[in-house]
Structures are given as structure tokens and as C-alpha cells.
């Protein structure tokens, strides 16, 4: 059980186990085997070459037909986490799901996942779904960590699953669609510890992105009738693109100074994002229960939610811009940019276009070192909503491994509406080798799975999307796309929706 071994002590009053170094023990990501290349979409849509690949910074777009949905992807990634890390369902005491693509307005996705635990004889599993745009996964992680650190913890693991499908109507937003799921194992003596006392949050009300009604059959039927029987893309969100970007960046402007202030208060020195290389990695602790050495370290890596990669580049450049404090680096001066003219930082919508471009260019070398190693999944699979930022964790583990030890990972999690947090993880060498970063890296096959996908044509993409739209909230059918042969062995899929709208799932056998 999770409580046995390193990272667990007794509460002073004997109330139960007390966990130390709580954070992420393991991480897995699932993405559909079907995807379309962005350069193919550019040609199909008749736009200029590079509009999606350079302008958005995207390489691929994962999609599903009617055979996969948010539940099947959650089942696939959860089973993957349990099997690859030899976790018994009996060892899990909390399971929480972050999503904004639920298939039911009442029944949680978590309840579908309980089949795995019921089969093992474990129904004592806390947690339900967290729904708040892209932020739901982060809220679920916070809840899981809080549970493990609390007196309510019974010594078992917590698991967080994020699963989402983003699909936009045909037009300029469609290339920012995507699909995928992430599962995290949470517990003590973790290699990636959630750093306490530095997290900062911003909550507000905005209509930058939302999904009004549309889930109810009566509403759907009324819309279809008004459209003369045509398929209505009611599943697509209502979105104000410029406002959404503004909220994303202006919230970043609020949270970064707050995080930096907390860092400075704790460590007695400023938090500069760009100078991680100037600080030596602190020594590895000798004893299991010793706290991490109080050596202040800036962020060696930074993770962001990724509607599209160009926005990630702009967000990171904006953090670097904050650290400039009105000074003009040589790289920007050479571009003719003047940071001294006006307030600092300037609001996102008041940034001169030339200055914006110059900042992204000046920050690119640092971005390449601190951010790019965690972005491959997001660039190749597209927007995964709640799973977007967290897909960077298994990616970073695969690209960096044990070299992460002693480093800080800064995370900015944003969900439209608005909910956002900035916090950090500290990477360390756990006492138990089972979840060491070196072992996690050695067993990762993320790059291989991405490489063996077979791209679909834009026409096949559109066919799958149209079928999924027709089947949205429908009943009494058996899914058609993609063909079962195209699914990876071990993938869960939707086998049938009966006349009472009950969804039945199955699993493709593992390869022999």
C-alpha cells in the first residue's frame, strides 16, 4: 500500500499517517491514433503555407470519430497508468476527473471509471469530477494533494484523470482543435513535489469561452428544427477569440508578480525566470525525511496551457518581459523596441506589434531550453483542454529524466471563465526507486507512440467530425469510425449507445 515505506510518518496525535514530499509519482498520456497534419489542413483549407504550422505553431491535430469519447480516453489512460506502474486498484483511495467534455449532465465520468475498481473489489474510492473549463484538471490535482496531506488520508494513492475533446466549427478556429487524456498518480515520496506556500490563484467572471446549454435533447431538437433539419454544431463552444487571449495573458500578468513576491519573501531574493543556469543544483538530501535544502532556485522549466503553441511562446516571452523591469536588453534594442515608453508591463492589448514580436524573438533561446521540451504532445495533438498543461509532465520526464532532479518547474494553469493558478513543482530523487525519474524515463514510450500514428487526410478528418456531430447526444446506434483495426491494442472504445442512451464500452485486446 502507498502508506508503507518512505515519505510517511505518524501524525503527532496518532490520528493516522502523515505524508511528506507529496506530488506526482507517475504520469501517462493517451491520444487517439487518428490525427491530421496541419500542413495538409493548410492546403485543404486554401490558406497560405505556414498559417497553421508557423502562425499557430502546431504540427498535428488529434481527433476522434464516434467510436471514442472523453470516457473511453479516460478509461484508456487510467488503465495505462495502473498497468505500466503495477498499481492495484485496491491501492487507490481517491480518483478524481478533470473535464469539460462530459457525456452526461448528471453522471460523472469518474463513475464510468469505477468499473476497474469494482472488478477488483474496491468501491471505497473518494472524489468525483471537477468541471471548470481547462482548469478542472488542476483543481482535481489540488484536491488529490490536499487529501494525501490531510488527516483524512488512509495511506492509499490518489489518481487524477484529465480527459477532453476540443472541436471547433469549420473556420479559423478549427486548426486549434485536439483530443487527449492524462493520468497522474499522486502520493508521498514523489519525484515531482508540489511546492507549498508559493501557489497563487486568480478567480473572476468573464465570457471569453463558454458552452451554454445545448446538452439537453429538447434544446437540441428545437435547434435542429429551426435549422430545417440540418445538423447543428451545438457542441461547439461560444468563444470570443481576442477576449480569450486577453484574459489568458492579463491573468498571467496578475499571477506572476504574486508568485514572485511569495518566492522572494520565502527565499530572500527575487525570482528571475531567466537565470536558472547561474545557480548550482542543491545537494541531494541524505535522509528520507529531510526537507529539500533551502537553496532558492528559479524555474528551470515552465509549463503553460496550450490552445496553440504560438500563444505559449507569447506567454513565456511575457514572463521574460516582466523580469526586464523597463530595461532594454541588447537583443530588443537591436530590434528597435523601446520598453521605456509607457507603463511596465504594458497591458496585452496595448503592446505594439513590433514589440510583441521582438519579445518572442528575444526569449526564444530561453524558451527552447525551458519550455519546448514539454510541448511536443501539445504541438502534435492539439488542444486537450484540462489535459493540455499536464501533458507536459510525461513529456518532460521522457526528454529529461533524472536530470530534472534539483530543478523547479513553474506551471501556469488557466481556465476560461476565469479560473487560474500559478504554482511550482520541485523535482527530487525519491527514496524508493520504484518512481525514480530515471526509471520513469526508461519505461516511457511517448515519442514512439506519436511516431507510429498514421496521418489521416483532411477529408477523412471532416468525415469523422461530421459523424461525431450527428451522433452527439444520440441514442440507439453502434459507432463506425475509426475502424477497430486502427485503434492501438489496449484502447478502450465506445461499443454501443442503446435506446435508453446508456453507453457501453469495450477494450481492444492487447497485442499477443
Continuous segment of H or E residues that includes residue 148: helix 136-149
Q: Which of 130, 134, 376, 381 is catalytic?
A: 134
244 has binding-site annotation: yes
- Tell me whether the omega of the peptide bond preceding residue 418 falls within 30 degrees of 0, making it cis: yes
Cell, residue 8: 510517511
Whether residue 408 contacts residue 426, with contact meaning beta carbons closer than 8 Å, is answered with yes
No. of helices (H) and no. of strands (E), the chain: 15, 19
Cβ atoms of 435 and 425 within 8 Å: the answer is: no
Which residue in 511, 472, 512 sits closest to 494, CA to CA?
A: 472
Q: Are strands 60-62 and 34-37 parallel, antiparallel or unpaired?
A: antiparallel
Distance CA 434, CA 360 (A): 40
Per the residue annotation, which of 28, 100, 405, 469 is the catalytic one? 100
Cα 128 to the center of its chain, rounded Å: 18
Instruction: Judge whether 134 counts as a catalytic residue.
Output: yes
Spatial contact of 8 and 188, defined as CB atoms under 8 Å apart: yes
Query: Is position 290 annotated as part of the catalytic site?
Result: no
User: How would you class 338 by CB atoms within 10 Å of its CB: exposed for 0-12, middle for 13-18, buried for 19 or more?
Assistant: middle
310 is in an annotated binding site: yes
The answer to whether 314 is a known ligand-binding residue is yes
C-alpha cell at 199: 501557489
Radius of gyration for the chain, computed over Cα atoms and rounded to the nearest angstrom: 23
Of 349, 348, 342, nearest in space to 326 by CA: 342
Binding-site annotation, residues for CoA: 244, 310, 314
Binding-site annotation, residues: 244, 310, 314
Instruction: Cite the active site residues.
Output: 100, 134
Amino acid at each position: 500500500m502507498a502508506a508503507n515505506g518512505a515519505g510517511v510518518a505518524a501524525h503527532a496525535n496518532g490520528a493516522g499517517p502523515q505524508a511528506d514530499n507529496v506530488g506526482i509519482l507517475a504520469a501517462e498520456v493517451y491520444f487517439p491514433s487518428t490525427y491530421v497534419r496541419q500542413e495538409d489542413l493548410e492546403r485543404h483549407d486554401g490558406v497560405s503555407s505556414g498559417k497553421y504550422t508557423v502562425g499557430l505553431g502546431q504540427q498535428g491535430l488529434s481527433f476522434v470519430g464516434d467510436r471514442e469519447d472523453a470516457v473511453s480516453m479516460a478509461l484508456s489512460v487510467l488503465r495505462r497508468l495502473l498497468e505500466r506502474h503495477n498499481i492495484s486498484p485496491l491501492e487507490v483511495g481517491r480518483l478524481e476527473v478533470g473535464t469539460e467534455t462530459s457525456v452526461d449532465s448528471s453522471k460523472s465520468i469518474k463513475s464510468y471509471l469505477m468499473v476497474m475498481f469494482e472488478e477488483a473489489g474496491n468501491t471505497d474510492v473518494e472524489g468525483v469530477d471537477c468541471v471548470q473549463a481547462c482548469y478542472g484538471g488542476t483543481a482535481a490535482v489540488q484536491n488529490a494533494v490536499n487529501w494525501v496531506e490531510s488527516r483524512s488520508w488512509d495511506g492509499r494513492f490518489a489518481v487524477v484523470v484529465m480527459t477532453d475533446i476540443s472541436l471547433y466549427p469549420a473556420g479559423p478556429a478549427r486548426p486549434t482543435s485536439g483530443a487527449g487524456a492524462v493520468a497522474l498518480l499522486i502520493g508521498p515520496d514523489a519525484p515531482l513535489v508540489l511546492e507549498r506556500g508559493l501557489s497563487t490563484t486568480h478567480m473572476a467572471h468573464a465570457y471569453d469561452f463558454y458552452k451554454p446549454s445545448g446538452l439537453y435533447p429538447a434544446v437540441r431538437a428545437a435547434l435542429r428544427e429551426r435549422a430545417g433539419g440540418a445538423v447543428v454544431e451545438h457542441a461547439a463552444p461560444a468563444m470570443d477569440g481576442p477576449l480569450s487571449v486577453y484574459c489568458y495573458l492579463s491573468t498571467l500578468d496578475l499571477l506572476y508578480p504574486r508568485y514572485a513576491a511569495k518566492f522572494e519573501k520565502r527565499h530572500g531574493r527575487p525570482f528571475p525566470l531567466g537565470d536558472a543556469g547561474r545557480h548550482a543544483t542543491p545537494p541531494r538530501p541524505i535522509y528520507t525525511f529531510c526537507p529539500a535544502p533551502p537553496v532558492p532556485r528559479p524555474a528551470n522549466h515552465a509549463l503553460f496551457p496550450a490552445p496553440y503553441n504560438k500563444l505559449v511562446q507569447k506567454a513565456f516571452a511575457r514572463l521574460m518581459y516582466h523580469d526586464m523591469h523597463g530595461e532594454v536588453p541588447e537583443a530588443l534594442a537591436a530590434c528597435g523596441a523601446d520598453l521605456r515608453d509607457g507603463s511596465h508591463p504594458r497591458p496585452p492589448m496595448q503592446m505594439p506589434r513590433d514589440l510583441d514580436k521582438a519579445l518572442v524573438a528575444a526569449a526564444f533561446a530561453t524558451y527552447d531550453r525551458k519550455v519546448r521540451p514539454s510541448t511536443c504532445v501539445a504541438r502534435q495533438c492539439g488542444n486537450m483542454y484540462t489535459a493540455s498543461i499536464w501533458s507536459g509532465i510525461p513529456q518532460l520526464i521522457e526528454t529529461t529524466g533524472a536530470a530534472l532532479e534539483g530543478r523547479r518547474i513553474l506551471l501556469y494553469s488557466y481556465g476560461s471563465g476565469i479560473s487560474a493558478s500559478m504554482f511550482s513543482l520541485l523535482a527530487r530523487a525519491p527514496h524508493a526507486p520504484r518512481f525514480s525519474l530515471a526509471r520513469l524515463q526508461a519505461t516511457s514510450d511517448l515519442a514512439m507512440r506519436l511516431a507510429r500514428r498514421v496521418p489521416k487526410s483532411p477529408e477523412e478528418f471532416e468525415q469523422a467530425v461530421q459523424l461525431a456531430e450527428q451522433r452527439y447526444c444520440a441514442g440507439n446506434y453502434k459507432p463506425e469510425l475509426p475502424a477497430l483495426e486502427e485503434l492501438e491494442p489496449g484502447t478502450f472504445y465506445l461499443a454501443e449507445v442503446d435506446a435508453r442512451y446508456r453507453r457501453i464500452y469495450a477494450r481492444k485486446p492487447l497485442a499477443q
